[in-house]
Amino acid sequence: MRSSERRVRRFSPYLLLVFALAAGGRAAAQEKGEDLCGDCHSTGKVPHTHDPALLGLEKDAIYCSFFMDADSDALGMDWVVCPNCRTPSVQARARSEFQLEYQQRQRWLEERRAEVDQHAGEKVLHIKTRHFVIAWDIPKVKADRRVYDMHEAMHLYARRMEDLYREIQQVHGIGETAMHTGVYHLYLFETQKVAERVGAYAVNGAGGGATKSLIGPNSAHVRWWRKEDLPDDEHFHQALAHSVSHLIHNDIDQFDEWLAVRYGWAYEGLAHYIEIRLFGPPITWCHRETGGFEHWKGKDWEANVKKAVLAGTQPAFQDVITKASDVLTPMEHQFSWSYIDYLMWLDPKKMPRLLGLMKGPQLPVRDALQQAYGLTIGQFVDGWEEFVRTEYTSKPTKGPRPRPPRSGG
């Protein structure tokens, strides 16, 4: 990598002026008798170049270990201290600011390597975005008719997770203040061996099998790419979206207990709702759920539920809502999704209130529905059955199926 001094010579006076304006609009205050600096316009800072191909990937990242490792001079910052500044006091202030930021980035790298790489037994990649901190060691991903290398693939999934976060916020009409923490740790690995080593540390051994999750003030999800169940990128993306939606939905409003324990129908129904809205037929049973994934009556959940309602063979809502997520049957998963589908159709903006009542005071479903939606159990069941009869189709459908709310909002 070229030295900072050599970089300075590549910039035109016009570009330096633009940088100076961006840095503060005017030169920093110099001490009496000091000269002005023509190189940095007495800001103490000059632009720091990066590979343009990398900059496109990094624009949404706060930190990226790959980018920082490739830049020992500045660990990914877009400026360095003006090396020959003719305004010493300004240069000194810039140097202090640079050192503070450099040390902060260095600490983040060291912490990630101590917290993850040490347990993984290998060096992995790390990225921090606004809402996610991700550890990644999957060598490549085939998606969008191209092959992403490890670094590119990590950024691809970081963008996808931020998209998922925004989708859930938008569908409920909520902002950042509605979230309890708004930060989620993901540990995504190629092999079960590495995932298990990290999982034992990251989530205190919760769960089992291919995935582990910890939901609460320090939400985390560990997963390895089991190709037998998730043969390609589309399947892996969908399964991850299901699991991460649990973290996000449990983070809405207050948090004293996660939904899976007392409100399995809402916990699973919301994740399946996201799957069907964004991808199509669900493919995911989470780590807390028993047995392998299987459909009840086939992949078209909407048709299955409608046929059962028309035949009068649907399970009783009062029975389904008493179960934790790990004891729901394949049939009850489909009806749990349909209950959520109905509430989201009625008014998706009331769902955050319902979740808060469940995760905070942990009200009985009867009271939570009454306070959030103004519905008794009987009114809910009658309205849901009418919704299924009129809004659902018995004809098989494919692909994502977003359902606009009743109000059209």
> 248: domain range?
124-252
Q: Is 57 among the domain residues?
A: no
**Helical packing angle, 351-359 and 264-278, nearest 10°:** 150
Q: DSSP E strands: which ranges in 205-337?
A: 211-214, 220-224
Q: Does residue 209 share a domain with residue 154?
A: yes
Q: Does residue 293 share a domain with residue 401?
A: yes
Q: Is 316 among the domain residues?
A: yes
Q: Does residue 338 share a domain with residue 315?
A: yes
Q: Is 66 among the domain residues?
A: no
CA 23, CA 316: separation in Å to the nearest integer?
Answer: 63
Domains in the chain, number: 3
Q: Does residue 152 share a domain with residue 103?
A: no
Q: Is 67 among the domain residues?
A: no
Contacts 24+ apart (CB under 8 A), 338-341: 338/269, 338/301, 338/302, 338/305, 338/384, 338/388, 339/265, 339/266, 339/269, 339/384, 340/265, 340/266, 340/269, 340/270, 340/272, 340/273, 341/269, 341/273, 341/276, 341/403
Q: Does residue 230 share a domain with residue 142?
A: yes
From residue 324, alpha-carbon distances to 6, 321, 328, 359, 394 in Å are: 63, 8, 7, 14, 29
Each residue's pLDDT tens digit in the chain (409 positions)? Answer: 333 333 333 333 434 444 444 444 445 566 676 899 999 999 999 999 998 888 889 999 999 999 999 999 999 999 999 999 999 999 999 999 999 999 999 999 999 999 999 999 999 999 999 999 999 999 999 999 999 999 999 999 999 999 999 999 999 999 999 999 999 999 999 999 999 999 888 776 445 556 788 877 789 999 999 999 899 999 999 999 999 999 999 999 988 788 988 999 999 999 999 999 999 999 876 544 444 567 888 889 999 999 999 999 999 999 999 999 989 999 999 999 999 999 999 999 999 999 999 999 999 999 999 999 999 999 999 999 999 999 999 888 888 999 999 975 5
Q: Does residue 272 share a domain with residue 242?
A: no
pTM: 0.88
Q: Is 209 among the domain residues?
A: yes
For residue 106, how many other CB atoms are within 10 A of its CB?
12
Q: Does residue 349 share a domain with residue 315?
A: yes
Element at 133 (helix H, strand E): strand 132-136
For residue 310, how many other CB atoms are within 10 A of its CB?
14
Q: Does residue 402 share a domain with residue 264?
A: yes
Q: Is 329 among the domain residues?
A: yes
Q: Does residue 371 share a domain with residue 319?
A: yes
Q: Does residue 409 share a domain with residue 262?
A: yes
Last-in-domain residue among 252, 267, 284: 252
Q: Does residue 300 share a domain with residue 222?
A: no
Q: Does residue 371 share a domain with residue 294?
A: yes
Last-in-domain residue among 119, 135, 155: 119
Last-in-domain residue among 252, 276, 309: 252
Q: Is 296 among the domain residues?
A: yes
